[in-house]
A and B are shown apart, each in its own frame.
Chain A
């Protein structure tokens, strides 16, 4: 899951360091939107601006946790 998300986001956001623990700080509005839309499309989950919190987008691990949480809510 983590590597799949990493590959997706690396392709969409070449400027963003996905290893960072301050991922949210690195993102601009397009970056945040790109992450939400890319993950929504790829995993068939619903994400909106309420999910784009500094906590949820702190690192790649927290993004993975967000996706897993949404998938389990959907199931």
Chain B
């Protein structure tokens, strides 16, 4: 059964129930369905879109985006494509199959308990896998999706979480932000928040404990997931303390069974310590351009080896210990340092540079740029930051810290010696 068929069933069952809230607008399931059918018709007639064709949709974080998403599935979408950070600094196109969508939705429904009558609040961009994936179980179960445009206005978040049976996904840095500045406000919502899911970055044990204290009746989950792997496993940290360790346990969830204790193990540790994942929730593969600019699928195969390093403990719990590539984890968003260095290389006074992670109390890590200058030049930090913002577009990619150094350390083969700069950030994948 396709995802859109589940949604059609929900529309039949709960036509007058609220499906979507965004910027003060509200749509019932019947209204959402009508709007999606109208949009599908427009796409067919004015843009001549047919099943199986590519359609590029930029994320607008509003009702129109969701309507178009459903419309595309009504037309006959075979797969969705999300762009994710590539290790070379160039984004990778990840193909998510129809089968994977349903598997991921079922994983979330079973593991976290999505249900008709609950409201899920999405704060992050809907073209990122975390927030995107939440649309799937919400509309499969007849729940309500409340879309927020980021966390700049925390009052909107508190208002959105005030109705009973509310739930949300927050990256660890957002949770820390709430705990540091608004712990009491969060505690006041203890009876309305049904569950909070986190993930995408390590969460400090002290934050887990604090959240448990403030929200004693709320289910709390730390999930291991990525665009490529889908939803793999989740750790219900409301049930037991994290025992002083930062990590996640492989609660056996449908399609995401993990560890040797399971009948059908879906996660293993590769020879180099990398976490390997298999199951129907995996991506179909990467889409790459051939020499003539046509997209072709590089299929994933049965098992996907992630860049995450991990191990199982004696109880079969999976712990993340780091990453085998050089990504900088900025509050759950993965940044390739090469992308920043390529952008900075064009700045007139910079002779050489390296982008490294620097610990940050809120974001976990932020990018820092070390530069060597051309002889006789100097640079202004704010001007360089503005230059990089123009090149990198997204603010979170722009380094917060800058330092002029005498040289950039290199390895014998001439490549930048990134590892030599990581001592202060060890343990922060």
Interface of chain B, helix or strand or loop or mixed? helix
In the complex the two chains form, is A15's CB within 8 Å of B395's CB?
yes
* B164 is an interface residue with CB less than 8 A from chain A: no
| Beta-carbon contact of A37 and B331 below 8 Å | no
**Binary interface profile of B, 45-56, with partner A (CB < 8 Å = 1, else 0)?**
000000000000
> A46: nearest residue on chain B (CB-CB)?
B181
Q: Which residues of B contact A47 (CB under 8 A)?
A: 181
Q: Which residues of B sit under 8 angstroms from A48, Cβ to Cβ?
A: 181-182, 185
Cβ-closest chain A residue relative to B174: A29
Question: Which residues of the other chain, B, contact A50 by a CB distance below 8 angstroms?
Answer: 155
Question: Which one of A13, A14, A37, A52 has the highest number of Cβ atoms from chain B below 10 Å of its Cβ?
Answer: A14
**What's the nearest-Cβ distance from chain B to residue A27, in Å?**
7
Whether B152 contacts A32 by the Cβ 8 Å rule is yes
B371 CB → nearest A CB, Å: 14
Task: Say yes or no: is B385 at the interface (Cβ < 8 Å to chain A).
Answer: yes
From A10, A30, A49, contact of B181 by CB (8 A) = A49
| Contact in complex: B180, A49 (CB < 8 Å) | no
Highest count of chain B CB atoms <10 Å: which of A12, A15, A47: A15
Distance from B360 Cβ to chain A, minimum over Cβ atoms (Å) = 9
Closest beta carbon of chain A to B189's beta carbon, Å: 13
A29 near B150 (CB under 8 angstroms)?
yes
Contact of B347 with A by CB under 8 A: no
Interface size on B, residues (CB 8 A): 27
Contact bitstring A38-71, B, C-beta under 8 A = 1, else 0: 0010000001111010000000000000000000
Q: How large is the interface on A (under 10, 10 to 19, 20 to 34, 35 or more residues)?
A: 20 to 34
User: Are B362 and A30 closer than 8 Å at their CB atoms?
Assistant: yes
Q: Is the beta-carbon distance between A37 and B381 smaller than 8 angstroms?
A: no
Q: Which of B174, B180, B185, B398 contacts A37 (CB 8 A)?
A: B180
**Contacting residues, chain A, for B386 (C-beta < 8 A):** 15
- Contacting residues of chain B (343-382) with chain A, CB-CB under 8 angstroms: 361-363, 381-382
If the complex has contacts A14-B382, A29-B177, are A49 and B158 also in contact, measured as CB distance less than 8 A?
yes
Chosen A-B contacts, 11 in total, with CB atoms closer than 8 Å, are A13-B400, A14-B402, A29-B174, A29-B177, A30-B362, A30-B363, A30-B395, A32-B152, A49-B153, A49-B154, A49-B181
Q: Which residues from chain A sit less than 8 Å from chain B, CB to CB?
A: 10, 12-15, 27-30, 32-34, 36-37, 40, 47-50, 52
Sort A-B residue pairs by CB-CB distance and give the 7 closest, nearest first: A49-B154, A14-B385, A29-B151, A29-B152, A48-B181, A15-B385, A33-B177
Interface residues of B (CB under 8 A from A): 150-155, 158, 174, 177, 180-182, 185, 331, 361-363, 381-382, 385-386, 389, 395-396, 398, 400, 402
